[in-house]
Chains A and B, each alone.
Chain A
Amino acid sequence: MARSRPDAGIFGTLTVLAAVLVAGSLIVPRPVNLEMSPWVIGLLIACALLAEMMPVRLGQSAFRITVALPFLAVLAFLAPAWVVVSAEAAIQLVAASLLTAFFRVRTQRPLLIANLLMTVCMAAGAAWSANAFARTDPFTFIAVFEAAYIVLNLVGLAGLSRATARPGDRASRALPGLAFLALLTAFQFTLAAGLMVVVWSSSWWALPLALYPVFLLRLALARRAAAEDQYHETIVALMLMLQRAHPYTHGHLERVSRLAERVALRLGLGAKRARMVRDAAILHDVGKIAIDERILDKPAKLTTEEMDHVRKHSAFGAEILAPCRHFRDMVPWIRHHHERIDGNGYPDRLPDQKIPIESKIIAVTDAFDAMVGSGAAGGRRTYRDPMDVPSALAELQACSGTQFDSAVVSAFEETVLEGGL
């Protein structure tokens, strides 16, 4: 189900695991021995191969998903474990070769090997579990097989994600959500049960019909991924608009968003909430589209009138994002990212307890980046020289408890000192 970029160390672990699971699956006797025609076995393998050749990317992650499992589960009931493991390995190899040759889906060789080892582990482990724990009832058999396969897949995914994660990344970012997995599993079990009925009633002609729901599922996942892309592209388009209006923001938004997500995680916000904080941090200055760039770039202190004009940007940002339902939660965070905990902020002069924690996180990271700048042209304020990191942290500490939330400043400082920049 999953592809990532594996490191060399993981191959040894996967090879040992595959050897143990294959040996186990061969030792455990099958609960039933069916004499099944090689044509039926071949038809199931062909269907599994076709399903494997319809991969779909899972949202914004690097993972691609296929739905060959129902065919494999039925195959495992009808054929010995060695047939299932060999068929799964062959399906992976043939599908990868055909996708590369005809559809220009590029797969790196280490990735292919890691994926092959993982699928061997999953097929062998699932066959072992199903033969060991399931009775002769075919539906219990396929349920155990699928459950074991999915658990092994998730363990493998988590291991691969962990092994290949960059510093500061969370493995969970790449993994699908529980609700999604539950639905996908239920659908795959239903399909496998349907296939089992087809096999049991010897209606072999109906086997390829099962590819239609697989195709539908693929289409659904692809359209869901497109919906997720649309969300990200809206963010990109708004960023482009802002960068066109104010080239100063180039780089600033990315740095603030990266830091804001890490601080959010450190403060105990969930991974999903932290990602939303990252997205909100990218968009926090979107209201500056409606601010005069001559005032923003003025190489001197602003007059009161100019300051009032600039201060409108947080309310403008909220106004711009308000029409999008998927930004609904972020609208108040952006509106209040210049509120101060002593109640002297803008635009609403909110007291501490009414300022969202997400706004407080954006406020601290934004202020820090504004003080430090990127060092590159356009990455710093025009009217003062950039500070070094210790001085900027000291400045944040000095304003902690009046302008900024103390807990957020502490979490931010820890993030920076741990090398979060």
Chain B
Amino acid sequence: MTLWIVAICAASTLVLWLYTHVYLPRLMAERYKQSFRSFSKAIDLRWPGSGVQGERVVQLAGAVARQLRLPSRTRQDLEMAAWLQDIGLCAVPYQILNSDQPMSAGEFDSHCEAGAAMIEQVPSLRHIADYVRWHEKDNDALGPAYRILPAVNEFWKLAAERGEPFALEAMALNRGGFEQAVVQAIRAEWGGDFSDAERELIES
């Protein structure tokens, strides 16, 4: 009887440990991902031409954070911010978003501040508001973690226009003044060097 009780106590403690340390963290991570997909879908529907890179930005930002050996908590925050970075686009008028004319810099930049302001109203996300505020403009006054999203976004923008090799090389040549450690991390993540043909194309 005594042994049974001790065994049941130990087993229920083990089950509770697994529930707390394995099941619940996975559940939370999955739920966050689902919520972020909902937000991305909303932005995608509001601005079908946005070309929002969504999961590609999240993956590359996370990989760069790993390359830079940032703490796992910072990496998670950065990935969350990457999911949410364009949430402020819903504050930009529909007509401007869907106009044939390109958006002015002011109109486009307003979405960063609007997004950050929205995120500041959600208690569990408040701490990532600055990542969202500075996801388009590189700010060398901030730490390296805050300089990843602008570089990754620029990389995908250039890559969409001219291809990945061009984007990497242009950023390595300090176009946009991005943090070079971040650019090197993107390059390392992307696969390093280019073929001679690619280099020739870039230089031309």
Contacts and interface: CB of A to CB of B under 8 A. Distances in A.
Interface of A: 187, 190-191, 193-194, 196-197, 200-201, 212-213, 216-217, 219-220, 223-224, 226-227, 229-231, 233-234, 236-238, 240-242, 244-245, 286-287, 289-294, 316, 319-327
Nearest to B10: A194
Contact of B95 (A212, A294, A321, A322): A294
A191 B37 CA distance: 41
Interface in B8-48: 8-9, 12-13, 16-17, 19-20, 24-25, 27-28, 30-32, 34-35, 37-39, 41-42, 45-46
Which of A321, A324, A325 has the most CB atoms of chain B within a 10 A radius of its CB? A324
B122 A237 contact: yes
B136 to A, nearest CB: 18
Interface stretch (B85-93, B168-176, B192-200): B85-93
A93 B79 CA distance: 44
Which of B12, B17, B87, B98 has the most CB atoms of chain A within a 10 A radius of its CB? B12
20 contacts: A212-B13, A213-B12, A213-B16, A216-B16, A220-B19, A220-B20, A233-B124, A238-B38, A238-B39, A238-B42, A240-B121, A240-B122, A241-B118, A242-B90, A292-B94, A294-B93, A294-B95, A320-B38, A320-B42, A323-B37
Interface string B40-81: 011001100000000000000000000000000000000000
B121 A223 contact: no
Nearest to A312: B45
A241 B122 contact: no
Which of A201, A227, A234 has the most CB atoms of chain B within a 10 A radius of its CB? A234
Given A227-B27, A240-B118, A244-B90, A193 B9 contact: yes
A327 B31 CA distance: 11
Which of B42, B46, B87, B122 has the most CB atoms of chain A within a 10 A radius of its CB? B42
Nearest to A196: B5
A213 B90 contact: no
B119 to A, nearest CB: 8
A190 B39 contact: no
Contacts of A216: 13, 16-17, 20
B2 A230 contact: no
A216 B6 CA distance: 17
Range, interface on chain B:
35 or more
Contacts of A226: 28, 124
A288 to B, nearest CB: 10
A230 B31 contact: yes
Contacts of B13: 212-213, 216
A112 to B, nearest CB: 26
Contact of B20 (A219, A242, A319, A322): A219
Contact of A290 (B42, B87, B123): B42
Contacts of A212: 13
A187 B12 contact: yes
Which of B19, B32, B114, B119 has the most CB atoms of chain A within a 10 A radius of its CB? B19
B45 A325 contact: no
A233 B34 contact: no
Give the secondary structure class of A's interface.
Answer: helix
A236 B121 contact: yes
A219 B20 CA distance: 7
Contacts of A241: 39, 42, 87, 90, 118
B181 interface: no
B118 A245 contact: no
Contacts of A220: 16, 19-20, 24
Interface in B97-123: 98, 114, 118-119, 121-123
B5 to A, nearest CB: 5
A290 B45 contact: yes
Contact of B34 (A200, A237, A293, A324): A324
Contacts of B88: 244
A293 B45 contact: no
Which of A191, A223, A325 has the most CB atoms of chain B within a 10 A radius of its CB? A223
Contacts of A286: 42
Which of B27, B38, B118, B124 has the most CB atoms of chain A within a 10 A radius of its CB? B38
A293 B5 contact: no
Given A194-B9, A216-B13, A244-B91, A289 B42 contact: yes
A237 B123 CA distance: 10
A237 B45 contact: no
A411 B121 CA distance: 36
A234 B35 contact: yes
A289 B45 contact: yes
Contacts of B46: 245, 289-290
B202 interface: no
Contacts of A193: 5, 8-9
A322 B24 CA distance: 22
Ranked nearest first, the 3 interchain pairs of A and B with the lowest CB-CB distance are: A290-B45, A194-B9, A323-B37
Nearest to B111: A244
Given A245-B91, A292-B95, A223 B6 contact: no
B35 A230 contact: yes
B158 interface: no
